[in-house]
């Protein structure tokens, strides 16, 4: 817990330092190359005392460092540290042996989610439903085909048939979440495309799943 607290404090300090527009701009510039304090002042139209203040704040949180010029020994150059941009995104979540996506019918959202997950992570994925349908929805099949996404040719399955105690569960519909809570780990409130039935509804669900999965995948690490 103390380690987690210190990690949060470190992240908070960096975010606080970047809460000033001038400091954020300095970091943006330094992602491209090193600059002297005078060059930073000229670029941002800031007096030297303000440049010194902003650099001091960024140095205090470990985001920038200075090196002496090998030519003019009186001049220094500011550069980003190797860990400058670390901790600015959410930390890794936890380990997972398998990710299980759950919706009500296991006919669209959870099927698409499991297939998409396999394109983003080496952690195995499966899907299930609290009240499985007889077959995968045609709209889901057509959507997967439009996006060149391999979709398993298998009938929807009940959650109890596929779930294990070690699964990292992600509910992708409100009904499933409310039926399982607090059993699930994460919930994504994604509207049911089957209820609407048109191509745009399925594409919207696909895009939402793609975005969320691309954000979650780097934060889960395989169980050793």
H or E segment to which residue 204 belongs: helix 199-216
Whether residue 206 sits in one domain with residue 117 = yes
What span, in angstroms and rounded, lies between the C-alpha atoms of 209 and 201?
12
Would residue 86 count as lying in a domain? no
pLDDT at 5 over 60: no
Token couple for 90: 């959410």
Whether residue 66 sits in one domain with residue 103 = no
The count of other CB atoms within 10 Å of the CB of residue 196 is 14
Higher local confidence (pLDDT), 197 or 93? 197
Mark which of 53, 80, 107 sits at the end of a domain: 80
Whether residue 130 sits in one domain with residue 70 = no
Mark which of 37, 53, 80 sits at the end of a domain: 80
Token couple for 188: 């994504």
- Counted domains in the chain: 2
pLDDT at 151 over 70: yes
Higher local confidence (pLDDT), 8 or 19? 19
Q: What is the pLDDT of residues 164-185, one digit of tens each?
A: 999 999 999 999 999 987 777 8
Whether residue 207 sits in one domain with residue 106 = yes
Average pLDDT over residues 158-162: 96
User: Could you tell me the pTM of the whole model?
Assistant: 0.75
Would residue 112 count as lying in a domain? yes
H or E segment to which residue 12 belongs: helix 2-17
Phi–psi pair at 129, nearest 5 degrees: -135, 150
Would residue 26 count as lying in a domain? yes
Q: What is the pLDDT of residue 4?
A: 60
Higher local confidence (pLDDT), 94 or 43? 43
Whether residue 206 sits in one domain with residue 176 = yes
H or E segment to which residue 79 belongs: strand 76-80
Average pLDDT over residues 207-218: 94
Q: Which domain holds residue 124?
A: 94-222
Tokens 């979540």 correspond to what residue? 93
Whether residue 205 sits in one domain with residue 113 = yes
């Amino acid at each position: 817990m103390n380690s987690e607290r210190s990690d949060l404090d470190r992240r908070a300090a960096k975010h606080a330092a970047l809460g000033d527009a001038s400091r954020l701009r300095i970091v943006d510039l330094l992602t491209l190359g090193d600059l002297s304090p005078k060059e930073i002042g000229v670029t941002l139209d800031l007096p030297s005392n303000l440049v010194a203040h902003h650099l001091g704040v960024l140095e205090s949180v470990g985001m920038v460092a200075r090196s002496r010029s090998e030519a003019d020994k009186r001049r220094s150059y500011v550069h980003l540290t190797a860990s400058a941009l670390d901790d600015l995104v959410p930390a890794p979540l936890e380990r997972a042996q398998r990710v299980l996506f759950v919706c009500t019918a296991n006919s669209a959202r959870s099927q698409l989610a499991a297939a998409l997950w396999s394109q983003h992570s080496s952690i195995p994925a499966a899907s299930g439903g609290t009240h499985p349908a007889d077959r995968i929805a045609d709209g889901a099949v057509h959507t997967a085909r439009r996006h060149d996404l391999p979709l398993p040719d298998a009938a929807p399955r009940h959650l109890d048939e596929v779930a294990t105690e070690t699964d990292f569960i992600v509910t992708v519909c409100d009904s499933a979440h409310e039926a399982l809570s607090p059993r699930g780990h994460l919930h994504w409130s994604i509207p049911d495309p089957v209820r609407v039935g048109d191509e745009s509804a399925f594409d919207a669900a696909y895009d939402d799943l793609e975005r969320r999965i691309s954000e979650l995948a780097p934060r889960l690490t395989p169980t050793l």
